[in-house]
Structure 1
Amino acid sequence: MMGKKVYLLLTNSGSFLTKLIKLYTKKPYNHASIAFDNELSEVYSFGRKTAGNPFIGGFVKEDVRTGLFTHADCTIYSFTVTESQMQKLKHYLDKIEAQKNHYRYNFLGLLGVMFNTPIDRKKAYFCSQFVATLLKECNIIHFEKPPSLIAPYDLQTVSTFQFVYEGKLRDYHCEN
């Protein structure tokens, strides 16, 4: 039985907020997204809803060919899920997308990561917390710490993820 591939996309857009986060983390990538195809046409995360304002955030379907992504550096990993896990992922995402106006960006949660104190808020996530929650809730990965303490770097260290690409996002050409 062949599984389906899902992709983890970690990016550094070079935005002011990213530079601020990078000062603290000292890591190259500070934004995490999940993608359901190798062309990266179905990419989801929690981030800014408008390009011009980093403080209006929530659940977003990202277009990695435009906006802040046009000059972004990235690394991409893939992992294989069962048909059942894929259905759970899609169902979970559909539920959030149907209520996306009720979801917010968990800015307080970022402080929680800095102080190693989980700050869970109802219907609020930051990018890597969202990806980790999705993977945990769909029984794909069990993390040693709560999703509200998972940073993009932590996702990069998951041993079952397969490295796909690193470089400029605009130069990425999907595997066949």
Structure 2
Amino acid sequence: MDRCEKLNRNEFNMRDLIADRRLMNTVECFLLAGILFFGTLPIFILTYAYTAMVMIFRAWLSQFKFQIKLTLMSTYTMVLILEILFCAQVTFGHHFFWGTLFVSRLFSTVMILLPLAVERIVIIHKDADSYLPSISELTALSFEQLKHNREAIHHSMEEAEHVRKTLAIDKLKTIFIDMKRHSSIRYVNNGTLTDAYFDAAKDALTDPYIYIVISNTGSDASEIISLFTQKQYNHTSLSFDRELKTIISYNGGNNVYPPGLNPEIVEAFHKKDDASVLVYRLPVTREQKKHMIDQIEQINHDGSAYNIVGLVVKRSLRPNIMFCSQFVYRMLESNGLAYFTKPAGNVKPTDFIELDYYKKTDFCYEIKF
């Protein structure tokens, strides 16, 4: 009889928990709807800041490994800055149509949930023992434990300072202003590769290699990307000659060319003191190399654009809209030269080194500035 009573009591408690959770979900939906339709810029910013601070506190007091804690806290900080910038520049900017205003407000409202989504993804992909602490566990945190973790705290402060410098408002503002030059639905770059470039590329047909260039440039965009990828090298290019006179890739154009397929010069990679370039070579036939040049010539003729949205969604709306590693991989893949298998939109610059399991490429040299 006691057992039956306990089962009934547990079932009753479970129903109460489900009912309470449904009530909370309903309240949360009403709050989000209120922010969507009636929220002002200060309300959005305060909501973003409150959510970020709560999630940073939860991450620091969680049972995750230190590296995961640091990644979570850094991500929450970046999300907060991006939320505020988007809301201030786009949502509460000038709108000529009511539809764009509503869509931007809807997007800004959904962004409130981004930190929660990040936490959920981490929990799902980590071991079961990486749980968030209970209230009783939070109160058990002692100064002695903080003392033992002094070095870890010092390291985290250094990393936080690096994140702060990387996500400085002036850098983010420059990137957001530059985004106006980009397009994810139409080609904005056409004919930036000259006849002289293609003459030089064809002169290199006697060279039996194609050169894969991996660079750590130190540009604002590269530094922000490195926070997500946790990789030192975040740009890749192709060259038809060893001296890199024909180096080419998809990039933002450096305010010289429109974003898309552009020629590059190694000296332009020197944007910080420890910038460096790694050069690898991959054996090719003359026919493969010529076909690659013909493909690039066709892209130059048809037009191109830098796939800035694809960095997040991993897709392209048009064939010639790509980012750097996506372009290099497609060039290799379409000519039977790909030495690892991966969707082009998911390829990172360092994959050309790290996924070379069969040692198809040879290291040539490194350039340090």
Q: TM-score range by the shorter chain?
A: 0.7 to 0.9
Which of 264, 289, 309 is the matching residue for 1:62?
A: 264
Larger helix fraction of residues:
2
3-state SS of 1:45 partner: strand
Q: Deviations over 1:55-108 (max 9, x none)?
A: x5211011223x344653111111110111111111111111223xx2111011
Q: Note if contact 1:136-1:143 (Cα within 8 Å) is conserved in structure 2.
A: no
Counterpart of 1:105 (choices 294, 306, 330) is 306
Compared CA separation, residues 15 and 52, structure 1 to 2 (3 A): farther
1:164 aligns to what? 364
| Structure 1 counterpart of 2:348, one-letter code | A
Cα distance in 1 for residues equivalent to 2:351 and 2:237:
13
- More strand per residue: 1 or 2? 1
Identity of aligned residues (%): 29
Give the secondary structure class of the aligned counterpart of 2:266. Answer: coil
Normalising by structure 2, we get a TM-score of 0.40
Give the match for residue 84 of structure 1.
Answer: 287
Q: Which residue of 2 aligns with 1:147?
A: 344
User: 2:249 matched to which residue of 1?
Assistant: 45
SS of residue matched to 1:120: coil
Matched, 1:136 2:333: yes
Provide structure 2 residue ranges, at least 5 long, that are not aligned to the other structure.
1-205
Which residue pairs with 1:173 in the alignment? none
Instruction: Provide Cα deviations, 1:128-151, integer angstroms capped at 9, x if missing partner.
Output: 000000000111115421111111
Q: TM-score, normalised by structure 1?
A: 0.81
Which letter does structure 1 place at the counterpart of 2:328?
V
Secondary structure class of the residue paired with 2:325: helix
Q: Deviations over 1:25-62 (max 9, x none)?
A: 11111000000111100011000213489xx5211011
Q: CA RMSD in A?
A: 2.1
Amino acid across the alignment from 1:11: S
Partner of 2:119: none
Judge conservation of contact 1:36–1:43 (CA < 8 Å) in 2: yes
Contact 1:51–1:68 at 8 Å: present in 2 too? no
* SS of corresponding position for 1:152: coil
Larger Rg: 2
**1:70–1:50: structure 2 CA closer, same or farther, 3 Å change rule?**
closer
1:126: how far off? 0.3
- Secondary structure of the corresponding residue to residue 327 of structure 2: helix
For 2:304, give the aligned amino acid. Y
Whether the 8 Å contact between 1:64 and 1:70 is mirrored in structure 2 is: no
TM-aligned CA distance change 1:70 to 1:23, over 3 Å: closer
Could you tell me which runs of 5 or more consecutive residues in structure 1 were left unpaired when the two chains were aligned: 113-117, 171-176
- Higher RCO by CA contacts (8 Å cutoff, separation 6 or greater): 1
CA distance in 2, matches of 1:15, 1:3: 31
Q: What secondary structure sits across from 1:78 in the alignment? A: strand
- Which residue in the other structure is 1:115 paired with? none
User: Which residue is equivalent to 2:55?
Assistant: none
